[in-house]
Amino acid sequence: MFLIIYLLCCSLNNVSAYLSERINSQLPEDGRLNFTGLAAKYGLQTEEFDVITEDNYILKIFHIQGDRTKPILLVPGATESADAYIIRGNTSLSVALAREGYDLWFMNVRGKKYSRRHLNLDPHEDMAYWNFSFHEIGIYDLAANIDFVLNKTSQSQITLIGFSQGNQVWYVLGSMKPEYNGRVKAVIALAPVAFQSHARLPESWSLLNNFLRRTGNEELFPENSSIVTVGKAICSQLIAGANYCLNAFLFPISGYNPNEVEPEFMPVIIGHSPRSVARKVIDHMVQVRNSRRFQLYDYGMAANLKKYGSTMPPEYPLKEITTKVELLVGPNDQQAHIKDVQILKQTLSNSSYHEIDKKLWGHVDFVWGKNMNKHLFPLVLNLLKMYN
């Protein structure tokens, strides 16, 4: 189904600005506001800065000011920007942490709507802009953001909170550039993703991947594309449309949990996610699933031999990670599956494991859940107190 819809939509050009505006205007206010707008609506003031990576991407970082001695960097998942941490409004993690006085910094990785600039490349004109997987997001984007926050706050260490790919990029950085372990006090890993043997990813990926590559579709779900506009048109129709989007797409990917994501919230989600995922990010995830190893990007045997000195890509050396990782796990998570998290736990030398005490707790419930303030935030706040 995903494949058919994608094939029908992705080869079409952007929809007209007129149609796009019309459909956007059907979304509820929280589906239309950006990070700054949402923060203001829920009583928080935002500052923004540019961070330039070693490979010349220009990224936007948002700051909600708190106690400078307690900085936290929040890293979003693969399909979204910093918006993910605020779209639940008054019951979002941003509001809960701001209330406790933490100094909050929100990362937006390369390609997302706030972070589409580069010193030499244009995301619309140059396909080379999209030549990255979660590997580059880890070693360049996350590294640059950590250093930026340390510099701005004059602290020697920060705490990281990462959802899904937002913690996966830490296992990349902390293992490939171990000096970063000294700069991070602890990692709160919401839905921990490294090994992905049990992750529900598109089954027909290699077919779709070849098609996308040949047709130059390196960015999946671009903001103004027909696929996103059709998604907004359908998922914003309360009851029928929203239920369809939940049952046909979101729940199968995340884990079925109608207690945490209700149809009325679907129109807000579709205003923000999924957006702007590089084809190569998905390709790397599928490689990790199929190989059952948490390994570097597979360029093919000949290219691997040149790049890595072996025909198989090496595994990320997780033994290099010394920073404590607090693994927060959902029993019904179909992306960060319990069985995969257990392998991660055994591989990390310094981690502890916490299961959310709700049988149906799934993947997206860690950022979009209706009852996060009851089932998730008390645990997160207790863990943060241990380090701050």
Ligand X SMILES: *[C@@H]1O[C@H](CO)[C@@H](O)[C@H](O)[C@H]1NC(C)=O
Number of Cβ within a 10 Å radius of residue 35? 26
- Does position 171 interact with ligand X (CB under 6 A)? The reply is no
Q: Which one, 257 or 304, has the nearer CB to ligand X?
A: 304
User: What's the rounded Cα separation, in Å, for the pair 367 and 114?
Assistant: 19
Site for ligand X in 275-314 (CB under 6 A): none
Distance (Å) of CA 278 to CA 145, 209, 222, 297, 379: 20, 11, 10, 14, 33
Site string for ligand X, 10-49 (x = CB under 6 A): -------x--xx------------x-xx---xx-----x-
**Binding residues for ligand X restricted to 198-227, rule: CB under 6 A:** 223-224
Question: Nearer to ligand X by C-beta: 4 or 17?
Answer: 17
126 catalytic residue (yes or no): no
Provide the mask over 76-95, with x wherever binding to ligand X is found by CB under 6 A and - wherever it is not.
Answer: --------------x-----
Q: By CB under 6 A, tell whether 331 contacts ligand X.
A: no
Q: Tell me 48's DSSP state.
A: E
Q: What secondary structure, in 3-state letters, does 109-135 show?
A: CCCCCCCCEECCCCCCCCHHHHCCCHH
Active-site option among 164, 254, 276, 351: 164
Residues 179, 182, 188: CA angle, nearest 5 degrees: 110
Task: Decide if residue 320 touches ligand X (CB under 6 A).
Answer: no
Concerning whether 333 is annotated as a catalytic residue, the answer is yes
* Residues in region 350-379 near ligand X by CB under 6 A: 350
Residue at token pair 């708190």: 66
Task: Determine, following the binding rule CB under 6 A, whether residue 151 of this chain makes contact with ligand X.
Answer: yes
Among the listed residues 283, 298, 333, 365, the single catalytic one is 333
Spatial contact of 305 and 311, defined as CB atoms under 8 Å apart: yes
322 binds ligand X (CB under 6 A): yes
Q: What's the CA gap between 87 and 38, in Å, rounded?
A: 7
Cβ distance 348 to 67 under 8 Å?
no
Report the C-alpha gap between 25 and 385 in whole angstroms. 42
- Examine residue 113 and tell whether it contacts ligand X (CB under 6 A): yes
> Which residues are catalytic, by number?
164, 333, 363
List residues near ligand X by CB under 6 A.
17, 20-21, 34, 36-37, 41-42, 48, 90, 113-114, 128, 131, 151, 154, 185-186, 223-224, 322-324, 350
